[in-house]
A and B are shown apart, each in its own frame.
Chain A
Amino acid sequence: MIIQAIFIVMTLCTLGGAVGVVSSRNLFHSALYLILSFFGVAGYYVLLSAGFLAVIQLMVYIGAIAILILFAIMFSRESAMNSAKESQANRQRWLGLPVAMGLFISLIAVIIPVNWPIQQTAPTTDMVRDLGVAFLTSYLIPFEVVSVLLSVALIGAVMLAREENPPVKETK
């Protein structure tokens, strides 16, 4: 009973946040709605007994990526931070509708036929340890490749933000 109520609240957070992202006229508010959506997903992880993933969702998605998005918004033109006067929809919305519907239908078509294995009891093993062992044994190569990927991202960011093309003078 309680769990169902929590599930519904989390779903409202996730979907409501997602709707807010696209419907808000203020870019900064959109980013905050996105955080709400992320938060709902973290709640799902908790209900699925995946506390570690929930915490990572909070730390990486809300604590890092959303911050980057907020910085990016603040870094853009001043008008992006204030509410837009015009409507959020543009001329391509009628084209967007069938594409979105098609995506939705194909996702449903994939999800429904799958026979999801559902456990009635909570898992007993420690997920963090299992993940740690998996990274170092069966998924060793992907694990090391992640490091390369992160390194490349870092170098790319440094290149983009180089001093040769300073976008604005330092505001201090």
Chain B
Amino acid sequence: MQILTIVLQIAILLAIVLLHVAYATYFERKIIGHMQVRLGPMMVGYHGLLQPIADGIKSFFKEDIVPEQADRPLFLFAPVICLVTMLTSLAVIPFAKGWVLADINIGLLFIFAMSSLASYGVILAGWASNSKYTFLGGLRSMAQVISYELPLGLSLVGVMMLSGSLNLTTIVDSQGSSFSSMYLFPQLIGFFVFFVAMLAETNRVPFDLPEAETELVSGYITEYSGMRYALFFMAEYIGMMVMSSIGTICFLGGWNGPFEVPFFPPFWFILKVYGFLFLFIWIRATLPRYRYDQLMALGWKLLLPLALLNIFLTGLFKILVH
């Protein structure tokens, strides 16, 4: 019985998140369109509102090409790995007080672990396709993800020290409900490091080198088509949402807002997550891509020392205050 309840909850959560993913792509196209003085999708439905649905149906019916020289089982399964690891992170995210599937006391570490597993989907795709572009794309992505996983994890150590917990609900609660008590202010350096690492970890502009279309065609997904391609796409957007959720929980006070919204407690949480998503899109419309050596230098020579400095300063600050 208990299992059935959980399954039902997961199914509802999956449906809602996938719908959000579909419309996140719509918003991205619309926003970038308007920033570039275009209109974005307009044809399907009112102002193109049904475009994501049409895209979904299209990719479902598209031919699924498996290259002849590919490592077939790995090629077929790689997108599923990518999607599942991203999705599973959602299980530990509290959307509002008590609105969490698995309130484990190491929630933050669980998300780190899942994001490190997600890179396997990428490297398997790159390797199994047996093509030069995918191989290089997968390799680059792997090196990039592991280089930025460190600053990402270390930037949150300050938050762990302030809240004294790895449980995401406790982290939100320890920030209190007022605006000035958000961890964003004492952890400004941490937030900066987190934000940059977040962009790199999700392979977004300006760090979208694994799929840099000017040199690698489409990176590790070059050989994929149809629904499998769509799964990679979904995984990327779910990854963005998970990272935005972490940012919201750890720095922006989670579901707390200026006032309580009746009947719908996750209102502020979703609003903040969409704020992050808007930043992702805005940056994509604004910035050019980094060069690979610049990317590596930024991660290892700037963000890593900065994250360590932040930990030290937080420690010093705590001692001086008490």
Residues of A within 8 A of B (CB): 2, 28, 32, 35, 51-52, 55-56, 58-59, 62-64, 67, 70-71, 74, 126, 128
- Complex alpha-carbon distance, A11 and B289, angstroms: 45
Q: Is the CB of A52 within 8 A of B109?
A: yes
- Complex alpha-carbon distance, A20 and B112, angstroms: 28
Q: Is the CB of A59 within 8 A of B127?
A: no
- Return the chain A residue nearest B108 by Cβ: A55
* Sample of 16 further A-B pairs with CB below 8 A, known A32-B124, A55-B109, A63-B149: A51-B104, A51-B105, A52-B109, A55-B110, A55-B113, A59-B112, A59-B116, A63-B146, A64-B116, A67-B123, A70-B123, A70-B142, A74-B127, A126-B105, A128-B105, A128-B166
Within 8 A of A (CB), among B87-120: 104-106, 109-110, 112-114, 116-117, 119-120
Q: Is the CB of A67 within 8 A of B142?
A: yes
Number of A-B contacts (CB under 8 A): 49
Distance of A79 from chain B, by nearest CB (Å) = 15
- Complex alpha-carbon distance, A58 and B166, angstroms: 17
Q: Which residues of A contact B119 (CB under 8 A)?
A: 63, 67
The size class of the interface chain B forms with chain A is 20 to 34
Distance of B197 from chain A, by nearest CB (Å) = 15
| Pairs A–B under 8 Å by Cβ, sample size 27 | A28-B127, A32-B124, A51-B110, A52-B106, A52-B109, A55-B109, A55-B110, A55-B112, A56-B109, A58-B113, A58-B116, A59-B109, A59-B112, A59-B113, A62-B116, A62-B117, A63-B113, A63-B119, A63-B149, A64-B146, A67-B123, A70-B123, A71-B142, A74-B139, A126-B105, A128-B106, A128-B166
Q: Is the CB of A67 within 8 A of B166?
A: no
Within 8 A of A (CB), among B6-22: none
Distance of B214 from chain A, by nearest CB (Å) = 14
- Complex alpha-carbon distance, A51 and B110, angstroms: 9
Q: Which residues of B contact A70 (CB under 8 A)?
A: 123, 142
Most buried by B among A32, A56, A59: A59
Q: Which residues of A contact B74 (CB under 8 A)?
A: 32
Q: Which residues of B contact A52 (CB under 8 A)?
A: 106, 109
Distance of A106 from chain B, by nearest CB (Å) = 34
